[in-house]
Structure 1
């Protein structure tokens, strides 16, 4: 994060963070698209689109919300039109707003100059006051008239400049807030004079580890590589006055950041065949792969998307990092450690960011865009790499096989099958969230579905998959959440390739990671079960989670082994509404007590998106009355750290009664705690056997409450599988370590639980297995009373003397 001027800090908290809405529609082509969109949303939009794009599925128009003819910062609406002009999807974050004051007018234009005069001219660069525009700044439900000033901030000691939109009061007396400028999407530099030429260049087609299939190979500054690590390729360059320059219609090597490094050129057409130890090799390799990536997107059917050549600086400062600057349209590639331009995946990854910014220049980094951007760019780099047989056989899931090996960072992977999405978190880039790297959470299902598609359809699936993932970005905007983009991606796959199973493969992959919630949710009512051979009606609780009114045309039970039933349900559900479906069932007499059978439910829904009209949900129906062992632990204050070196460690215990039960996959630990900075906490669980599991390791959270069950709702930092087979009974220890001083927290309660059996006798009441906490150890604790302990053991004693029916 770049340093901030203290005078500007107040502006960062005022921007809206409410979720945007994704809506599929069925509509004939309106006479006036903007007017129709205004009627749908109940707001006023700009007369002309702020920008528009042409994709494979049609035309995409992006409007700004406005009031009194003046745009409102951060609020937009996009409509997707097919080739006949029919709307089929809306995306917007508009709100019904009222302004207490009229917009800034010409009489107050000097207010912009008055504000800029208060800032350090060596740090800030502004356009003239004549470029200031009247806008509204939004702070919650309040709209304040403002001048929008476009500014560039260049802090001393920071090689990177930041491009801001500053919103100041009409008289220039105060800064209301700021946001990043929209991305630049068109080349501004004039083409070089001269003529196009082709030279033979030596490059890394793949990173050396992959090319040589050598897992022991690591970069060193004096590393000499075998000729097999290189490939000689034709390279299109520009010839100016008998000098060959790394410049062309798709890429251009520049010196854009410190240190000053003159881009490589040669008066000899044979001068482009260098070894990686020579600094100019980085310019050649980076240029080649950026040009190749541009050609790839053009070949997919997007010839004008990227707006001309992108710049690349392969010596971008003293940093072990690379980035894409969306305002300068420049890839800035680091040289510290492994020179990033040696790793082709780095170039393709940063190019992935460029693709997104050219489709959606106003995407920003709110919502989940941070992790989405990293995951998509990882996918694009890995998709390109997978086209090589060597890469398919060697570390196929690793991102940056060459660069990340000695950089001190853990290489990202595209096979993080443990990652699960949690709707209560936001997902910025590069952070561990809910037990996994958020970038991997988005990249893994994309890559999983790609590999399955290639296995099913062959190499043709590679281009088709890249195409549908690029097309899925069109018609969106700021504040996108992963489940929204997952729904759009599945829908796009089905629209672009209706004869392929790409949509199904993506849907399966997204659902595995909890990224694609169904429009309707269903759960068995509490304490639902069937005995073998029993006839009984069970209650199924339905919840509309589509965010809009929902019509269930039919809900039915699909045929399944061991269950008979023929119940149906239909009805209307309001947005977020609930209903109860009573379903008569009969269990087969040969079902085993204690097993769970699948209850497959199918819903026919009246929704515009074809991918949402039919939904299947599989519920787990217990056979026999479940018997649980559980204990609830007391909470308490979480000790604050005294300093960064002297941490605050809090311990809480509870005890499960003696039994022969062993821990299995049904084991859960539930936490409910609050802390002002969850990213400061380390949380461990220690079993009675002594195995210590990290549940939370300073994970990022966008709120202050951590509530849920591991591993069903929350993903532990370390898998609970390490506990499998250990005794369940005994003393459990929960440790919470606060690593930074100055913040407070409270553990409300916690519990551990596991189903340990089932009861199928109709004459015996189920023992009460609830555990009342009686003891406290250090931070707090819980245990079972002797009476409850006896009740918990009673089913086992009873089964020894009673024949099973």
Structure 2
């Protein structure tokens, strides 16, 4: 029984009035199970003087307990990102001056009305900090030495090293660790070590760079001598100082020209007969000349350094960037100068396209510029984006990766999502980052000449789909999402590539929307916008929900949300639930406190019984049923309000037609199973048949509540119990409203009635004769 039901009903009605079309909130499914993860906030009346950052703090101060913390003292505002829809306030979780790694809550505040519209919570509840030690026994040099020795470094550093002390979530607790980042030529890679700050134990070693395709390097394969760490650090700093010392002459910004591939040679010429080793003349028809905007002129020398991309050499093999004396790059493939011009053109163009969508100025993404090395990765057949130093590294094995716009823009896609959300990690973000990169590149290719006509669903049409690498596709529509799995980058899950599971619904949504007259620019805009306000540990279902919500906010009159929903449901990323229940088939439902979910079940003529029940999961959802129309919290035929998820309603001799079923979140609930079962029957109940119904609620003193009981048996028994010292009565009325029974004897009240030949709808009336609220339960049994 639920003593707060009346106030919850009032709150639910208010919530429904403000936000009937809001998506259901999302919940954590790790040790924080049941804690809200993505919260869609219903519009509220604006509070004078409270908007922007103040609105974000105000929301957290009033809701922090639902995220598992007692107050906001552990929160520190670290940055604000602005998008088309809102300002996104990122609050780090800090304990005793040490940040919780990936511990963050992001509050999104509307630019239109200054009110909170969405919250992404990745905080760790207070219990995680029990017995926590926040004083390290090791210093930074110790941590660097441990990582260096474990890697057995035998090649120079390529990027600046970094180490920081954080609290690392491990299961349901926190552990003080160093995160050590080392980028080295051998063993090649951008490595991250997680090292216990008390004991020096190496807890995890991972690759920090995100690659366009799988890679496999094992430091244990090397058993030779290692470099001295201090000397290697000193050499790196010396090289950096030497580069800085060179840049002292006056510079000008001018436009140049470059010979490039507008997409890739295969797409341009519409043939897959081209190979890396094809004669040079076979490529002549694929080249075009384009403007290289805002390159650098210094001391009579033109360099490919502009406001949004700088072509540099920071990684082996050593290849100084090309320069010209006239600002024109006319090299062809096979000459790295062509790769550099091609890379500059496509990254610069993609940034300017982002700005044309509205992501400029305070809303800018990657507009401070990115460094790119077209002859990197030790010459291997792969490419990487590395967050932190914000660099792109392109390989030259087999086909030079920089020859293809798709590969360049795939890596730039990583740069985009990391710039928006620098906590992009955990959950399914590995696969989603790859899928978004493939989408971003595929969207551009689709807009180019022949992009729609020649294998539009190929990802990496030139670098892949050849003997070196099979590439990927953007139409793996048979892959199905399994919420029990974790989707890292480039992994096989149930026979399908994780990257394609995410890229496919994005790209196919774009194609469908374009066919329906929607500009490609709108699709790109909503997908970029949906990345704002996110944090770590996202699943595909989390992100898909955010995409659909963003589509509804940006283009409420368009088909955008409908199409994305359809494509996500096709691959089980969003659950395909149209609300129509099939007899005996359970559906899994999750919801927030005060949320409502509507379903229907069709009952044929002459059905003997309809049973509706909930079971399993966590939290508490109540069950409301109405024949012929959707029920509400105060408009229903029958309701079951038991504590927990064990609701059960039975209709004897149900009417022919549609029964509407509503789940109402008395509290947040998740993974609840709802099942409605229709049983065929003859003219009446079978021998030995028993049916029970239970009702529970609270009732104000001096009032009554009626419950309809469909009687199909030969006897009816009622039992009423209540709490407290007040006095209740129980009255039974027939279908005509005539009183046919009354019990006024005490707690419990009981009634028995012979209903042989008297079937139909009876009313059990519960009366509270006292002067205060009291909870009660009523049980009706038919035989």
Superposition TM-score tier, normalisation by shorter sequence: 0.5 to 0.7
- Deviation of 1:400 after TM superposition, in Å, equals 1.0
Partner in structure 2 of residue 337 of structure 1: 398
Partner in structure 2 of residue 95 of structure 1: 125
Q: 1:338/1:352 Cα in 2 relative to 1: closer, same or farther (>3 Å)? A: same
Match of 1:142 among 173, 176, 188: 173
Structure-to-structure mapping, 1:158-237, within 5 angstroms: 158-164=187-193, 166-169=195-198, 174=201, 193-220=250-277, 222-236=279-293, 237=295
- Number of residue pairs aligned between Structure 1 and Structure 2: 568
Distance 1:404 1:621 in 2: 54
Distance 1:302 1:583 in 2: 60
SS at match of 1:475: coil
Q: 1:25/1:531 Cα in 2 relative to 1: closer, same or farther (>3 Å)? A: closer
Structure-to-structure mapping, 1:119-518, within 5 angstroms: 120=148, 123=153, 135-144=166-175, 146=176, 149=178, 151-154=180-183, 157-164=186-193, 166-169=195-198, 174=201, 193-220=250-277, 222-236=279-293, 237-270=295-328, 272-303=329-360, 304-316=364-376, 317-364=378-425, 366-458=426-518, 460=519, 462-517=520-575
- Deviation of 1:418 after TM superposition, in Å, equals 0.6
Answer yes or no: is the 8 Å Cα contact 1:167–1:178 preserved in 2.
no
Partner in structure 1 of residue 92 of structure 2: 64
Instruction: Determine whether 1:86 maps to 2:146.
Output: no
Structure-to-structure mapping, 1:664-675, within 5 angstroms: none
Structure-to-structure mapping, 1:618-697, within 5 angstroms: none
Q: Deviations over 1:153-211 (max 9, x none)?
A: 35662332325564412xx655566788899xxxx998995111112221100211111
Answer yes or no: is the 8 Å Cα contact 2:610–2:651 preserved in 1.
yes
Q: 1:606/1:276 Cα in 2 relative to 1: closer, same or farther (>3 Å)? A: same
Answer yes or no: is the 8 Å Cα contact 2:609–2:650 preserved in 1.
no
Distance 1:238 1:607 in 2: 63
Q: 1:25/1:511 Cα in 2 relative to 1: closer, same or farther (>3 Å)? A: same
SS at match of 1:214: coil
Match of 1:23 among 34, 39, 42: 39
SS at match of 2:439: helix
Q: 1:417/1:603 Cα in 2 relative to 1: closer, same or farther (>3 Å)? A: farther
Distance 1:301 1:247 in 2: 24
Q: 1:436/1:174 Cα in 2 relative to 1: closer, same or farther (>3 Å)? A: closer
Answer yes or no: is the 8 Å Cα contact 1:305–1:359 preserved in 2.
yes
Structure-to-structure mapping, 1:100-115, within 5 angstroms: 100-101=130-131, 103-105=133-135, 111-113=139-141
Q: 1:263/1:505 Cα in 2 relative to 1: closer, same or farther (>3 Å)? A: same
- Deviation of 1:372 after TM superposition, in Å, equals 0.5
- Deviation of 1:359 after TM superposition, in Å, equals 0.7
Q: Deviations over 1:440-487 (max 9, x none)?
A: 1111111111111111224x3x11111110111111111110011111
Structure 2 residue runs without a partner (length 5+): 1-29, 45-49, 211-240, 587-600, 631-635, 669-673, 682-783
Answer yes or no: is the 8 Å Cα contact 2:304–2:310 preserved in 1.
yes
Partner in structure 2 of residue 32 of structure 1: 58
Distance 1:622 1:579 in 2: 15
Distance 1:426 1:496 in 2: 30
Structure-to-structure mapping, 1:579-594, within 5 angstroms: none
Q: 1:445/1:311 Cα in 2 relative to 1: closer, same or farther (>3 Å)? A: same
Structure 1 residue runs without a partner (length 5+): 1-15, 560-566, 589-598, 610-616, 625-805
Distance 1:583 1:503 in 2: 41
Q: 1:339/1:501 Cα in 2 relative to 1: closer, same or farther (>3 Å)? A: same
Q: 1:22/1:583 Cα in 2 relative to 1: closer, same or farther (>3 Å)? A: farther
Answer yes or no: is the 8 Å Cα contact 2:37–2:121 preserved in 1.
yes
Answer yes or no: is the 8 Å Cα contact 1:542–1:580 preserved in 2.
no
CA RMSD of aligned residues (A): 4.2
Distance 1:526 1:116 in 2: 57
SS at match of 1:335: coil
SS at match of 1:392: coil
- Deviation of 1:101 after TM superposition, in Å, equals 4.3
Q: Deviations over 1:680-736 (max 9, x none)?
A: xxxxxxxxxxxxxxxxxxxxxxxxxxxxxxxxxxxxxxxxxxxxxxxxxxxxxxxxx
Q: TM-score, normalised by structure 2?
A: 0.64
SS at match of 1:390: coil
SS at match of 2:512: helix
Instruction: Determine whether 1:76 maps to 2:104.
Output: yes
Q: 1:422/1:109 Cα in 2 relative to 1: closer, same or farther (>3 Å)? A: closer
Q: 1:537/1:393 Cα in 2 relative to 1: closer, same or farther (>3 Å)? A: farther
Q: 1:581/1:416 Cα in 2 relative to 1: closer, same or farther (>3 Å)? A: farther
Partner in structure 2 of residue 524 of structure 1: 583
Q: 1:531/1:400 Cα in 2 relative to 1: closer, same or farther (>3 Å)? A: same
Q: 1:96/1:289 Cα in 2 relative to 1: closer, same or farther (>3 Å)? A: same
Partner in structure 1 of residue 756 of structure 2: none
Distance 2:545 2:320 in 1: 46
Distance 2:419 2:643 in 1: 38
Q: Deviations over 1:473-507 (max 9, x none)?
A: 11111111001111110000001111211001111
Which stretch shows the higher mean deviation, 237-246 or 207-216? 207-216
Distance 1:176 1:507 in 2: 40
Which stretch shows the higher mean deviation, 507-516 or 173-182? 173-182
